[in-house]
Structure 1
Amino acid sequence: MENRLNELNGSQWLYWTNSIYETFFPPDRTHHLRKKHGAMKPPQLMAEIVSFFTKKGEMVLDPFAGVGGTLLGAELAGRRALGIELNSCWVDIYRQIITEYREDNGELIPIAEAGEKAGSLSSEMVNGDCLEVMARFEAETFAAIIADPPYGCNHGPTGFKKETNFKMNSGDRRDFGNSDDYQEFLLRMEDFGNEAYRVLLPKRYLVLLVGDRYHCGEYLPLGYMVADVLRKTGFKWKGARIWWNKATQRPLKPYAINTCFIPNITHQNILILRKE
């Protein structure tokens, strides 16, 4: 049977159907630059995701590109990618990385250490508002849309000195992370979903990494909430993988110990939606 989605064999495909996704990706050679963005994802992780949902040479879009984890992952996987990022600071870091590093045998290596066959990093990142930029794209342009949207809404923490997840927003009102509350955030995600559906090729996938939250004394299943909103835009929710990177887990914090149960949220939801 022809594999119409990717270039994996049967056992590799089967592994990817496991809803629990434990990885051990230590910081790579670009980490000292990318870590300025507190919510960046390992390029190795993004390469695995890109490899499942595309074939070599296909074009991937990341509308919330940050410091370029998806774009770097696409380079490692032999795909093309385009990123959109509102914060010019993160765009500058990504452009520094692709200037100073090369892809060499599945790793990102400084130019001075790269071998003769090392490949340059050519995926582009555009500085701008994702909704405005996506509106300029022709319909059915991208083979996959893979992103980690900002979801640290502009609310004050309740009960703790700090939130249980990073808040990496820019102060720009166009930043989804600066939504006044989660209801506004979800409305913005619906606007995003409409554009994503338009520019994605038929039968292909939108993949989002979304962490759940603990807010106002209650667990907030934000991953489920985002997926449910995107269903309204036409996407079919095909499933989720629960991702945990053991190599970079932060120490557990004693929230309300000996008083009541409050979770340390150490996982993220990889939401998998299809345009059908």
Structure 2
Amino acid sequence: MGKKLTNRLNDLTSSEWLYWTDTLYITNYPPDATHYLRKAHGAMKPPELMADIIKFFTKKGETVLDPFAGVGGTLLGAALTDRKALGIELNPEWVKVYQEICRTFKVREGILERRGDFDQSPPDIFPEMVLGDCFEIFPTLADGSLDAVITDPPYGCQHKISGFKSETNFNMFNLQESKDLANAADFPAFLELMKKVGQEVWRVLKSKRYFVMILGDRYRDGEYIPLGYLVSQVMQEVGFKFKGLRIWCNKATQRPLKPYAIMTSFVPNITHQNILILRKE
């Protein structure tokens, strides 16, 4: 008999591993119990999705970093899978949303369940989310201390230029807005910022471990911008090996198709996002 293989990356079976290597990643996660809080953030990801990704790239008890934590989808995914995690988030409003989830929900049998009004049990210990700029917090993290970095960076450059700005919160958040990657002046500026992120991730990530990003492509001024590919090129300049991608679409919350330039020319309905898989080698 052949020697039994040792799984050095995760706790999955061989069949689970094989399924996860399919390039097409079509899910059907309906809004979960925390959705009514998380939906304030226009780009949040299902905790079940993040849990699925975390399960492939880590073992139980290992530590994940999300430097763009938003309302905490990655951290909630870590809680669902018995992983440790740290999140960094620039916007205090999103930190408040995550803290509210931590106060009012618990993990029960692998799902997030709202705590009852008369539930006297101690609150679950959810992963920590730190309020601040990731570029200022990265230096406090030790070299080679993390098992995975899994994130959904703010990539809507020149798509929603207003960022945090509004009549009621501009004065409070104008500093954060200026640091938000989504408000980069243009795509070259965005890519330079992403390169800085990659350099920091390279330092804090353990050898042979993975940096996973969720990024959508863009369509601007009549031209398709393969943003996922462009970011992967930048990360290769840093030193990461681009190991592949998965094309993800969640059918339960898919954007409706719109009649862009119908009967005139081809304009894509971008209903997918790219999950970029990079490795420190």
TM-score, length basis structure 2: 0.91
Tell me whether 1:79 sits opposite 2:73 in the alignment.
Answer: no
Counterpart code for 1:170? F
Name the counterpart of 2:172.
none
Name the counterpart of 1:149.
153
* Match of residue 197, structure 1, among 202, 208, 221: 202
Tell me whether 1:50 sits opposite 2:44 in the alignment.
Answer: no
Q: Secondary structure at the match of 1:6?
A: coil
CA distance, structure 2, for counterparts of residue 196 and residue 264 of structure 1: 32
Relative to 1, partners in 2 of residues 1:121 and 1:50: Cα closer, same or farther, differing over 3 Å?
same
Deviation, structure 1 residue 118: 9.5
* Matched ranges for 1:121-270 at <5 A: 121-153=125-157, 155=158, 169-171=163-165, 172-270=177-275
> After the TM superposition, which parts of structure 1 deviate over 6 Å for at least 4 consecutive aligned residues?
113-119
Deviation, structure 1 residue 119: 7.4
CA distance, structure 2, for counterparts of residue 114 and residue 16 of structure 1: 40
Q: 1:242, 1:267 within 8 Å by CA — same for their partners in 2?
A: yes
CA distance, structure 2, for counterparts of residue 273 and residue 24 of structure 1: 25
Relative to 1, partners in 2 of residues 1:95 and 1:119: Cα closer, same or farther, differing over 3 Å?
closer
1:202-248 deviations in Å (ceiling 9; x for gaps)? 10000000000001110000000001101111110000000010010
Name the counterpart of 2:168.
none
Deviation, structure 1 residue 191: 0.4
Relative to 1, partners in 2 of residues 1:118 and 1:107: Cα closer, same or farther, differing over 3 Å?
farther
CA distance, structure 2, for counterparts of residue 119 and residue 74 of structure 1: 16
Q: Secondary structure at the match of 2:182?
A: helix
CA distance, structure 1, for counterparts of residue 222 and residue 128 of structure 2: 41
Larger deviation, residues 117-126 vs 215-224 = 117-126
5+ residue gaps in structure 2? 166-176
Percent identical: 56
CA distance, structure 2, for counterparts of residue 19 and residue 105 of structure 1: 29
CA distance, structure 2, for counterparts of residue 246 and residue 114 of structure 1: 36
Relative to 1, partners in 2 of residues 1:62 and 1:132: Cα closer, same or farther, differing over 3 Å?
same
* Match of residue 92, structure 1, among 92, 96, 108: 96
Counterpart code for 2:37? L
Q: 1:189, 1:226 within 8 Å by CA — same for their partners in 2?
A: yes
Q: 1:104, 1:119 within 8 Å by CA — same for their partners in 2?
A: no
* Match of residue 31, structure 2, among 11, 20, 27: 27
Q: 1:105, 1:118 within 8 Å by CA — same for their partners in 2?
A: no
Name the counterpart of 1:3.
7
Q: Secondary structure at the match of 2:189?
A: helix
Deviation, structure 1 residue 112: 0.9
* Match of residue 64, structure 1, among 43, 50, 68: 68
5+ residue gaps in structure 1? 156-162
Larger deviation, residues 131-140 vs 182-191 = 131-140
Relative to 1, partners in 2 of residues 1:72 and 1:167: Cα closer, same or farther, differing over 3 Å?
farther
CA distance, structure 2, for counterparts of residue 124 and residue 190 of structure 1: 25
Q: Secondary structure at the match of 2:33?
A: coil
CA distance, structure 2, for counterparts of residue 12 and residue 119 of structure 1: 32
Deviation, structure 1 residue 170: 2.6
CA distance, structure 2, for counterparts of residue 251 and residue 168 of structure 1: 24
Count matched residues: 266
Deviation, structure 1 residue 131: 1.1
Provide the alpha-carbon RMSD of the alignment: 1.8
Relative to 1, partners in 2 of residues 1:262 and 1:71: Cα closer, same or farther, differing over 3 Å?
same
